[in-house]
């Protein structure tokens, strides 16, 4: 069974392109800009393709991949940078996940907030 996921945004170092899913156009412009910066700086630093997506439960996940012939891709740097983004942008990532769960998955906000408080 294939995993269901919804891409929020991503950047591609090979094509030097950024993508933002228009289904999330109601996300405030300042957050869209911050996501743009995160994605582009990620690919500038380590290369490859970097994608932020929501999994089936509405959690925001990261994916970073490289072309097989890309010997300059920094896999270790990618892992470290993902960890740094998760640490420094934790509030932003949780807010985006909450937004997705409430507005897209139509979950009860009070139950979601209770789950966050228990963590």
Domain chopping of the chain, boundaries: 6-118
Helix (H) or strand (E) holding 101: helix 90-103
Share of the chain above pLDDT 90, in %: 77
Residue 71, both tokens: 């010997």
The pLDDT assigned to 54 comes to 97
Q: Select from 43, 28, 25 the least CA-distant residue to 85.
A: 43
In the predicted structure, residue 1 carries a pLDDT above the cut 50: no
In the predicted structure, residue 113 carries a pLDDT above the cut 80: no
Mean pLDDT of 1-30: 91
Kindly report, residue by residue over 18-70, the tens digit of the pLDDT: 999 999 999 999 999 999 999 999 999 999 999 999 999 999 999 999 999 98
Higher pLDDT, 66 or 118: 66
Residue 20, both tokens: 């933002």
In the predicted structure, residue 102 carries a pLDDT above the cut 80: yes
Handedness of CA 41, 93, 55, 75 (dihedral sign): positive
Strand ranges inside 1-119, DSSP E: 6-12, 17-20, 49-54, 60-65
In 11-58, where does DSSP find H-type helix? 29-46
- Chain mean pLDDT for the chain: 91
Q: CA–CA separation, 97 vs 92, rounded Å?
A: 9
Q: Which residue has the tokens 């983004």?
A: 85
Mean pLDDT of 76-95: 94
Q: Which residue has the tokens 């996501």?
A: 35
């Amino acid at each position: 069974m294939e995993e269901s996921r919804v891409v929020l945004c991503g950047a591609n170092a090979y094509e030097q392109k950024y993508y933002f899913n228009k289904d999330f156009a109601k996300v405030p412009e300042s957050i869209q800009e911050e996501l743009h910066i995160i994605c582009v700086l990620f690919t500038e630093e380590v290369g490859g393709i970097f994608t932020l997506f929501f999994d089936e439960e509405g959690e925001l996940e990261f994916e970073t991949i490289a072309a097989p012939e890309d010997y300059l891709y920094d896999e270790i740097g990618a892992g470290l940078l993902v960890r740094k983004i998760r640490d420094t942008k934790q509030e932003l990532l949780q807010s985006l996940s909450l937004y997705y769960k409430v507005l897209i998955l139509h979950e009860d906000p009070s139950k979601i907030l209770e789950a966050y408080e228990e963590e």
